[in-house]
Structure 1
Amino acid sequence: MNAARDKANRSAKRNVIVIDDDESPSDQPCAKKDSESVSSKRVVELEEKLRKSKGDFQRACLAARKAELRAEAAEERLDCKYGIKENYETEKKRADKLEKKLAEVSAKEVSGRAESNVNSDLVQENEALKKEMAEIREEHRV
């Protein structure tokens, strides 16, 4: 009887399903293998989503960098325009000062010419008077 009982116990032990995480995949029962195939499909789906998300992230980073570079270029152009405007205003002020100075110099030149004309008229008149005096002296000597 003991032999029959031992045989029954051995066959009962063979029919027992042990669920253990430490088992190798070949030792696992069918129920666990089915859940693994479902979870492996889920892992594949998640990996695919991860790859897609990484690609989207890289494209977003690239687009953000391009936008940043465009913004920097726009700032440089704007700074350049402000510089041109400031230079224009500075040059305009300088041109206004030069125009005023030119007007003053022109006025002095005109007055100088007038004085020069008066002086030349006076010089010519003085020369004429000297000639006339010389003629009168010669007439008196003769």
Structure 2
Amino acid sequence: MDPLAVVAGFFPNGITRYLVGGLLIGVGVATIYLGTGIIAGASTFLETTLSYASGLSRFNRAKYVGSRDWRVVFTVGIVVGGAVYAVTFQDGIWVTQVQPWRLAVGGVLVGIGTRLGKGCTSGHGVCGVGSISNTSLVNVVTFVGFAVGTALLVQAAGVSP
């Protein structure tokens, strides 16, 4: 059996977009790390942003205040990049059948999980695993395990979008 045909079966829409996306993510996080020495995770975006408006010491730590400008640009770039892609290559920005309230609840749960896990999939999954961090490897296995388990549970419960 042809190994390329087996791999191609996992990408019914073609592999090119995933390769290009992966290369862009890799170049982006490498540029941020080489330019700042900071891992390009997005989970500290909220605390970083709150340092603009809050007087609480939790949000005004030097690591947040010192990196808040580029983190805002980084996060806005993720959103704008996704929107540009959706408008250019898809049928618009809103392409999911999932109800908005479910997306909101999922977003809150992901936010809680990133705080409990001390980072997000971009920080642990892209940067941490790439740096062979044991903590990140454990966190990614945990993220993926819970994602698969939740998906199977939701499917077994008969929940649909």
The answer to whether TM tops 0.5 is no
Relative contact order (C-alpha < 8 Å, sep 6+): which is higher? 2
The structure in which a higher percent of residues are helix is 1
Please tell me whether Structure 1 or Structure 2 has the larger radius of gyration of its CA atoms. 1
